Amino acid sequence: MLYLLISILCSVSVGVFFKLLKKKSSVTVFLLVINYLIASLATYVLFRPQFDFSKLNWNYIIPLSLLLPTVFWILTIAINQSGIVKTDIAQRISLVIPILCSYWLFKEEISNFKLIGLIIGLIAVVFILQKNSRMKTSGTFSFYLLLTFLGYGIIDVLFKQIALHSQIPYTTSLFFIFIGALLVTTIYLCINQKAFKTIIIRHFINGIILGILNFSNIYFYLKAHQYFKENPTTVFASMNFGVIILGTLIGIVFFKEKLTKVNIIGLILALIAVAFIVIAQTKSI
């Protein structure tokens, strides 16, 4: 369980990290550049990826290289606008999107328990997206929370397709995805001249910290799956429950984030939805 605990802590720490920074978008892009540089180097050192370009599934690698930094940037805005609690829940409950895609696009059967979980999960999303009436931003729903939910759901779908590509190891594809994300963020950084003025040693160090946290989250999550290879649902459930609960506790206790009654109902429904989906995967009901 140590691998899972470290992965949960690193995942939540990324949100806490951005909540504490509250930096401008140009600084965020620079942090993402360093983040993907660290992730690329770590993946190369630990997994020694293959360089057989003909076997790579570029149809998924290229979109993921674009989506990962984009959705990560959206995540930082959602954290600062709506808080860690709502953002973590929106990110984790996005699991309903790949399940729906499995049914509609890939014609997989959905059990009754899983269907109940999906319905509860979608209701939870609506409740979680509800804004506090005292927030200055206009609109009933949080736009960036919605984009976080949709973005991570789509990313999960694409990663599942990468995992099914058996011609080359999953970690090799992951390496090239990180390299692609590094190129995307570097190009944007070069185009945005204002960003260069904000680059100082402190931001470089922050980028390294972010990269270590982000990669450690992925690395120890994979290690947990290897350790619990006979029961992957344990990893799936622990990760989702752990991040939602720990993120909620940190957001409320340390950052004094306020949740409406509707948001609290959404939080409870999100946990119930994950529970139903996990039970469905475990018991095949």
pLDDT at 138: 45
Among 209, 202, 172, 168, smallest CA distance to 37 is for 209
Whats the size of the chain, residue-wise?
285
The C-alpha atoms of residue 137 and residue 153 are separated, in whole angstroms, by 25
The DSSP H or E segment spanning 125 is helix 112-129
Cα distance between residue 181 and residue 73, in whole Å: 12
d(CA 158, CA 59): 9
CA 204/CA 198 separation, integer angstroms: 10
Q: Is 107 left (phi over 0), alpha (psi -120 to 50) or beta?
A: left
- Which residues on neighbouring strands pair with residue 130, listed in sequence order? 141
Please give the pLDDT value at position 49: 92
- Tell me what pLDDT residue 233 has: 67
Amino acid at 51: F
What is the per-residue pLDDT for 201? 72
Q: What is the pLDDT of residue 69?
A: 95
User: Rounded to 5 degrees, what are φ and ψ at 141?
Assistant: -105, 155
pLDDT value at residue 43: 95
Q: What token pair was written down for 23?
A: 């930096």
Question: One digit per residue, pLDDT tens: the chain, 285 residues?
Answer: 789 899 999 999 999 998 888 755 567 888 999 999 999 999 999 999 988 888 899 999 999 999 999 999 999 999 988 899 999 999 999 988 988 888 787 677 778 888 898 899 999 998 988 876 555 544 556 899 999 999 999 998 898 888 777 788 889 999 999 999 999 999 988 887 565 555 667 788 889 999 999 999 999 988 887 787 766 667 877 888 899 999 999 999 999 998 889 999 999 999 999 888 888 766 655
pTM value is: 0.87
Q: Which residues contact 265 (CB under 8 A, 6 or more apart)?
A: 127
- Distant-in-sequence, close-in-space partners of 168: CB < 8 Å, separation ≥ 6: 50, 52, 55, 56, 57
**Residues in Cβ contact with 86 at an 8 Å cutoff, skipping those fewer than 6 apart:** 78, 128, 129, 142, 145, 257, 259, 263
CA 94 – CA 80 distance, rounded (Å): 19
275 neighbors 94 (Cβ within 8 angstroms): no
What pLDDT, on a 0 to 100 scale, did the predictor assign at position 223?
87
- pLDDT value for 212: 96
Spatial contact of 92 and 244, defined as CB atoms under 8 Å apart: yes
The shares of helix, strand and coil residues in the chain, as percent rounded to the nearest 5, are 80, 0, 20
pLDDT at 229: 73
Q: What's the token pair of residue 42?
A: 């770590």
Q: Residue 194 has what pLDDT?
A: 61
Q: Output the pLDDT for position 191.
A: 82
Dig out the tokens for 61 from the structure: 């690698």
Cβ contact 80:21 at 8 Å: no
